[in-house]
Amino acid sequence: MSATLEVRNLRTHFFTRAGVVKAVDDVSFSVGRGEVLGLVGESGSGKSVTGFSIIGLIDPPGRLAGGQILYKGQDLATLTERDMRHLRGNRIAMIFQDPMMTLNPVLRIDTQMIETVQAHAQVSKAEARARSRDALGMVGIPSPEERLNAYPHQFSGGMRQRVAIAIALLHNPDLLIADEPTTALDVTIQAQILAEVQKLATDHGTALIWITHDLSVIAGLADRIAVMYAGRVVETGGASDVLDHPRHPYTHGLIGSVPSRNKRGEKLRQIPGTTPSLLSLPPGCAFRTRCTHATDACVQEPPVSDIAPGHTARCFHPVSA
Amino acid sequence: MNPPIIELRGIAKRFGPSYDAAARLTRGLAERFGKPPKNETVRAVDGVALTVAKGEVVGLVGESGCGKSTIGRMVAGIMPPTEGQVLFKGQDVTTLTPEASRDARLKVQMIFQDPYASLNPRMRVADIVGEAPLVHGLIRKDEFDSYLDMQLQRAGLDPTFKRRYPHQFSGGQRQRIGIARALAVQPEFLVCDEAVAALDVSIQAQILNLFMDLRRDLDLTYLFISHDLGVVEHLSDRVMIMYLGRIVESARSEEIFAHPNHPYTQALLAEVPRIDTRKRRFTAIKGEIPSPIDPPAGCHFHPRCPHAMPRCSVETPALREIAPGHNSACHLNDQG
Ligand SMILES: Nc1ncnc2c1ncn2[C@@H]1O[C@H](COP(=O)(O)OP(=O)(O)OP(=O)(O)O)[C@@H](O)[C@H]1O
Ligand SMILES: Nc1ncnc2c1ncn2[C@@H]1O[C@H](COP(=O)(O)OP(=O)(O)OP(=O)(O)O)[C@@H](O)[C@H]1O
Ligand code: SF4
Ligand code: SF4
Ligand SMILES: [Mg+2]
Ligand SMILES: [Mg+2]
């Protein structure tokens, strides 16, 4: 059986006046039915742009510069705008990092949710309202009936995030891309939402791409993990393989920075140096200037290599397990 | 202890509903036909006292929607309380001269939870970060470029992108624009509202280290709102736990993490996800989540509390000292 989504050698570039920003540059991964892929990586490494590319929302000066996005075997990059829009409403959903990309600030929540329900299901307004209310309840919003009457600005930051999640869950999508959906949520509400999402994956077979910087969420949720750095996937593998035995030096440094692994009040460990500018990446490995394992070999482009079954790294000198 | 730089006394904040024309009409009709008007007032903050001493880091933790950002906004002087007083260096901010009031606004900066909404989409990053210091005379015109580059670099942003607009940045980069903007006006007090929530742990470490350096070097004071208990524990001297508009527990950081007293705090700490758990089954919330529109009587936590007693749904527990510097609002502390 083919994967729900297979991304092959995706390149998404922004052709800005200052130069070409290679936000996504040769990214490949796949997610199967009911599977959760955790997409982690440095801020600015191309996670959101990868998500936007899949659902066809890249605006000029950005465009797909190569690769394939196969959804159930069909290349999304070749679809017409109309077919893509249809798919986006029904089978593929994205929870945006910015909830206001989903929500309209001047419309009441009920108006927005009822409209979404009715756009895809032949139901009465009362039925659509009831579904909307239940969806709000499902993401832990108290007094959902009263809250349907509110405007987005009357919600707290985390509540807005949750409304956006509720909207994405309205039609049981086959593929859900969630971009930092629970960043500002406390552990209890987060667990509530993750429970709903797990249910969606098991009961409905939804394939999930979960983008987050929160490694503890990924640890509990993901089957597989892909790690991005400067537009590339630098490591992939099963969740345990990547978290317990990170092999790429970037992943290794990332996991060492988790506060609970550092002592209270002491300086937190951070990866030395700064993120290279995507406009002027050094030739060879993009992590080279910050990597303690770097050698002369690293001025060449490191290939993706299999370290263990199902575990890959893009590095000449992987950290020993 | 140093004198307080910020003090909140008996603060409450209520938000009335806002009706559009159609809703106003139906509401009017319903009232005419004898239906009682539905109360939709949100009691976001309900009787909160808080002091932050100079150089202190106070963590503020609590469930989504419990009123943390609302407190943050009142501390930063962006939103007036419905009841109570906000004092800046001992003086009620409503009694300040316009000049002193402007100064207080500048000295207390806020890093907003929502980096998108808080950045003007039509301004370039250079102006978002650099304009205020220039206008307020913190820097001269000829210093602008070097000052700006330094501020951007410090927040982990590439200065070569300073001519870009906010939408051309990633989520975490935008959050760092907000951090650079707040720090650029050289504040004395910083309200950090989920300020590092969108950052990967390594860049987060870089920003948190910067916060700690500024505290050491400039005695910068923080109200640190975060859902991330690991970060709060790492950074804060004192932690306040909020539940549905009220402070339910406060203590020194080590104390609260080692000996949580309030049942809500205990539940919160028990659920902290760990990086070493694999593929766990997440559990839905048991019981109903109480609403600030219709808060339960007595202890707000009683519908979810495993220790609730008859008294808890009638009588509001007062926040009182249970050990030196450790306050908790729970009736269990009254029993022998
Ligand atoms: N419209 C644009 N024009 C130019 N560059 C852009 C544009 N949108 C994004 N970028 C750049 O592309 C890179 C990847 O951005 P993306 O939003 O995918 O990062 P991310 O991995 O999601 O980061 P974060 O964790 O901070 O959200 C960033 O360096 C960003 O500055
Ligand atoms: N402008 C407003 N109008 C009406 N209600 C509001 C407004 N701002 C906040 N509220 C309400 O006040 C309550 C507290 O909101 P607040 O933003 O302070 O929560 P929070 O603790 O910061 O939550 P989160 O962790 O989700 O950001 C919420 O119920 C919210 O809906
Ligand atoms: S290829 Fe070289 S520079 Fe890049 S991560 Fe591996 S060791 Fe470091
Ligand atoms: S006062 Fe009662 S309901 Fe509230 S936390 Fe204590 S035991 Fe639980
Ligand atoms: Mg992003
Ligand atoms: Mg908030």
Please provide the DSSP assignment of A232-253 as one string: EEEEEEEHHHHHHS--SHHHHH
How close B49 gets to chain A, by Cα (Å)?
A: 21
pLDDT at site B286? 76
Distances (CA, A) of B145 to B69, B185, B219: 33, 15, 26
* Beta strand ranges found along chain B (DSSP E): 4-15, 42-53, 57-62, 83-88, 91-92, 108-111, 189-193, 221-225, 238-243, 246-252, 320-323, 326-328
Instruction: State whether the beta carbon of A13 lies less than 6 angstroms from ligand 3.
Output: no
DSSP B332: G
Percent over 90 (pLDDT), chain A: 77
Give me the sign of the Cα torsion angle A296, A298, A301, A303.
positive
Distances (CA, A) of A300 to A234, A252, A272: 15, 21, 22
Q: Which residue on chain A is closest to B159 by alpha carbon?
A: A277
pLDDT in tens, A263-286: 677 788 888 888 888 888 888 999
In the sheet that holds A232-238, the strands lie side by side as A92-95, A175-179, A207-211, A36-41, A224-229, A232-238, A311-314, A304-308
Q: How many CB atoms lie within 10 A of CB A297?
A: 11
Min mean pLDDT across A109-123, A157-171, B147-161, B269-283 is at B269-283
A256: pLDDT strictly greater than 90: no
pLDDT at site B280? 80
B3: pLDDT strictly greater than 90: no
Min mean pLDDT across A172-186, A287-301, B31-45, B69-83 is at B31-45
Give me the sign of the Cα torsion angle B126, B131, B137, B142.
positive
The overall average pLDDT reported for chain B is 90
Q: Is B268 exposed, middle or buried (0-12, 13-18, 19+ CB in 10 A)?
A: buried
pLDDT in tens, B42-62: 999 999 999 999 999 999 999
Residue B23 parent element (H or E): helix B21-32
Q: What value does the mean pLDDT take over residues B308-320? A: 96
pLDDT at site A261? 62
Which has more pLDDT, B185 or B277? B185
The overall average pLDDT reported for chain A is 92
Nearest bound ligand to the CA of residue B40: 2
Which residues on chain B are in Cβ contact (under 8 Å) with A224? none
- Count CA atoms within 13 Å of residue A277 on its CB side: 12
Among residues B273, B246, B263, B253, which one has the least CA distance to residue B305?
Answer: B263
Q: Which parts of A102-176 fold into alpha helices (H)?
A: 109-120, 125-138, 144-147, 157-169
Give me the sign of the Cα torsion angle B163, A101, B245, B60.
negative
d(Cα A53, Cα A23) in Å, to the nearest integer?
11
A226: pLDDT strictly greater than 70: yes
B2: pLDDT strictly greater than 80: no
Please indicate if any CB of chain A lies within 8 Å of the CB of B61.
Answer: yes
d(Cα B213, Cα B211) in Å, to the nearest integer?
5
Dihedral of CA atoms B60, B61, B63, B68 in degrees, nearest 10, equals 10
B23: pLDDT strictly greater than 60: no
Q: What value does the mean pLDDT take over residues B251-263? A: 96
Tokens representing B208 are: 């948190």
Q: What value does the mean pLDDT take over residues A234-249? A: 95
pLDDT at site A90? 84
pLDDT at site B1? 61
- Contacts for B318 with CB less than 8 Å, ≥ 6 apart: B329
B67: pLDDT strictly greater than 80: yes
Asked if residues A168 and A94 have their Cβ atoms less than 8 Å apart, the reply is: yes
What is the A211 CA–ligand 1 centroid distance (Å)?
A: 13
Q: Which residue on chain B is closest to A21 by alpha carbon?
A: B168
Q: Is A314 exposed, middle or buried (0-12, 13-18, 19+ CB in 10 A)?
A: buried
Residue A51 parent element (H or E): helix A47-54
Which has more pLDDT, A90 or B147? B147
Task: Mark yes or no for CB contact B272/A187 under 8 Å.
Answer: yes
Q: What value does the mean pLDDT take over residues B193-200? A: 91
pLDDT at site B279? 77
How close A23 gets to chain B, by Cα (Å)?
A: 10
A150: pLDDT strictly greater than 80: yes
Min mean pLDDT across A59-73, B25-39, B248-262 is at B25-39
pLDDT in tens, B103-130: 999 999 999 998 888 899 999 999 999 9
B284: pLDDT strictly greater than 90: no
Model-level ipTM above the cut of 0.90: yes
pLDDT at site A1? 54
What is the B262 CA–ligand 4 centroid distance (Å)?
A: 8
Instruction: State whether the beta carbon of A302 lies less than 6 angstroms from ligand 3.
Output: yes
SS3 category, B291: strand
- Contacts for B206 with CB less than 8 Å, ≥ 6 apart: A270, B156
DSSP A78: G
d(Cα A142, Cα B108) in Å, to the nearest integer?
33
DSSP A200: I
- Contacts for B264 with CB less than 8 Å, ≥ 6 apart: B241, B243, B248, B249, B301, B304, B305
Identify the band that residue A257 occupies on the pLDDT scale cut at 50, 70 and 90. Answer: confident
- Contacts for A183 with CB less than 8 Å, ≥ 6 apart: A97, A161, A212, A213, A214, B194, B197, B198
Instruction: State whether the beta carbon of B290 lies less than 6 angstroms from ligand 2.
Output: no
Min mean pLDDT across A228-232, A280-284, B163-167 is at A280-284
B16: pLDDT strictly greater than 60: yes
Q: Give residues 124 to 183 of B whose Cβ lies within 8 Å of A.
A: 153, 156, 158, 160-161, 163, 168-173, 176
Among residues A167, A170, A173, which one has the least CA distance to residue A152?
Answer: A167
How many helices and strands, by DSSP H and E, does chain A display? 10, 12
d(Cα A227, Cα A134) in Å, to the nearest integer?
35
Q: What value does the mean pLDDT take over residues A130-146? A: 94
- Contacts for A287 with CB less than 8 Å, ≥ 6 apart: A229, A230, A234, A248, A249, A250, A294
Tell me the pairing of strands B57-62 and B238-243: parallel
DSSP B208: H
Give me the sign of the Cα torsion angle B321, B322, B325, B328.
negative
pLDDT at site A262? 63
Distance of CA B111 to the CA centre of its chain: 10
Distances (CA, A) of B89 to A133, A157, A169, B95, B104: 46, 29, 48, 12, 9
Which has more pLDDT, A184 or B18? A184
How close A43 gets to chain B, by Cα (Å)?
A: 5
A7: pLDDT strictly greater than 70: yes
In the sheet that holds B57-62, the strands lie side by side as B108-111, B189-193, B221-225, B57-62, B238-243, B246-252, B326-328, B320-323
- Residue ranges near ligand 6 (ion) with Cβ within 5 Å: A 156-157; B 69, 113
Q: What value does the mean pLDDT take over residues A36-52? A: 96
Q: What value does the mean pLDDT take over residues A59-63? A: 94
